[in-house]
Amino acid sequence: MTDLHELDATDQAALLRSREVSSVELTGHHLERAERLGPELGAFITLTADRALAAAEQADRRLAEDDPAPLLGVPTAIKDLTSTAGVGTTMGSALMRSNVPTVDAHVVTLMHRAGLVSLGKTNTPEFGLSSYTDNDVVGPARTPWDTSRTAGGSSGGAAAAVAAGLVPLAQGSDGGGSIRIPASCCGVVGLKPSRGRVSAGPVGSEWSGLAVDGPLARTVRDAAALLDVLAHPMPGDPRHLPAPSIPFSTWAAREPGRLRIARWSDPYLPGVSSSPESVEAWQEASRTLQALGHDVVEVPNPFPPELEPQFNRVWSSGIAAAPIPEEALELLQPNTRYWLLRGREVTGAELAAAMQFLESTTREVLVAMHEFDAWLTPTLALVPPAVDWFHETGDPADAHRRELEFTPFTAVYNMAGVPAASLPLHVTAPTADRSALPVGVMLAGRPGEDGPLVSLCAQLEAATPQPARLP
């Protein structure tokens, strides 16, 4: 008999609507797993069991009234970067241990309205700055496939929780790959929506245009269902896409038609190369797409390496602007201090020039690549490294170099503002010195065309023999 946590969110929701299980039962089942397995994985910073069970009771009342909300009563989790009223939100920093927001982020409000039941706040690196999850609050997040290896970041706790069946789907955020990186490391689906698709309000800022909230899930249809919950323009949004005319869940059930897909596997950064495992996963996906009738065309990587230093100026300026007292700097992790101090060296003119360069350069790429409906690359250049690999030298500049070697594909899509998704279509063979590990492939689409991308991802997922989702 299939255990409840082995079902995806869509199937769990069907059980709830048929009254075969209650939300209280479903939530209790997942809470038990989160309490038992979560600490070893570093999945959660805070569990909110009492709030979750109260929300589940409310969901059961709505279910009894035949409320049609598709994900009503399904367990989920919120990333600890995301403001949640009345719940500790540390942002992965020891400096923020006592931070309890009084306002919900819009994504939290929308998830609550949809009847999703949050079990708590998932692990993230300090202020979400790195592509691996580790901090001084609860320590590292680990992939359930091999707990000696990183879950990736910055939504590492969310991805680990979904992969291990602690929740069937979770909210994450992505400013340079922070949904897709951990999705690849943990063998789940990670979808970064288009710029402006999901509101960062009411107190968040979209000043750089890089970051956006989105789903981590076990299946494409679940990711689409959560995006349906999140993708609503909200009052005050400085940049937003209109509400979609077709639900993303509908796109997930729709054939995409024959598409023209560009592919490349060489990173845009000089001196960085893709591992054989990453290329193998990418080749397998290419062959499947061709067998589905798509026109898959090999092209050179269209993004120039000059983007990387300009991205760094924007990225570091964000943390440099944070109101962190001078006397508190020594309490920050070395990686955080590294980025903060780099950001303080960036002048206003340099920041403006960097933002202009990102926009104009990615605009040129989008125009040059407009003949293609989608782009296919590896998600990462490496399989999930050991938990301590990034900081084993103690030099944060070296940690940054290793991050570039690890994830040279994801950030360009944040710069361009396009939708992109990592799909868990490949698992390496185990060897004498390592377990089988998941390897993601990444598809990206045109700006604002999240629906067609979801359709293509669902088609590719259905055509690929699926590895075990619960390692």
Catalytic sites, residue numbers: 79, 154, 178
Q: How far, in Å, are 95, 156, 318, 334 from residue 129 at the CA level?
A: 15, 12, 10, 11
Question: What's the token pair of residue 181?
Answer: 């990186």
Report phi then psi at 149, rounded to 5: -115, 155
Starting at the earlier edge strand, list the strands of the sheet with 189-192.
169-174, 212-217, 189-192, 420-427, 438-445, 374-378, 260-263, 295-298
- Return the DSSP state at 411: H
Q: By C-alpha distance, which of 159, 145, 153 is closest to 174?
A: 153
- Return the DSSP state at 385: P
- Are the C-beta atoms of residues 164 and 33 closer than 8 Å to each other? yes
- Are the C-beta atoms of residues 71 and 226 closer than 8 Å to each other? yes
Starting at the earlier edge strand, list the strands of the sheet with 117-122.
44-47, 117-122, 75-79
User: Residue 236: which residues within 8 A CB-CB, separation 6 or more?
Assistant: 201, 202
Distance between CA 35 and CA 465 in Å, rounded? 32
Report the relative pairing of strands 75-79 and 117-122 from DSSP bridges: parallel
Report phi then psi at 44, rounded to 5: -120, 145
Question: What's the token pair of residue 397?
Answer: 């500049």
Cα 9–chain centre separation: 17
Neighbours of 270 (CB within 10 A): 7
Distance between CA 94 and CA 329 in Å, rounded? 12
Helix count and strand count (H, E) for the chain = 15, 11
Does the CA dihedral 153-104-250-119 come out positive or negative? Answer: positive
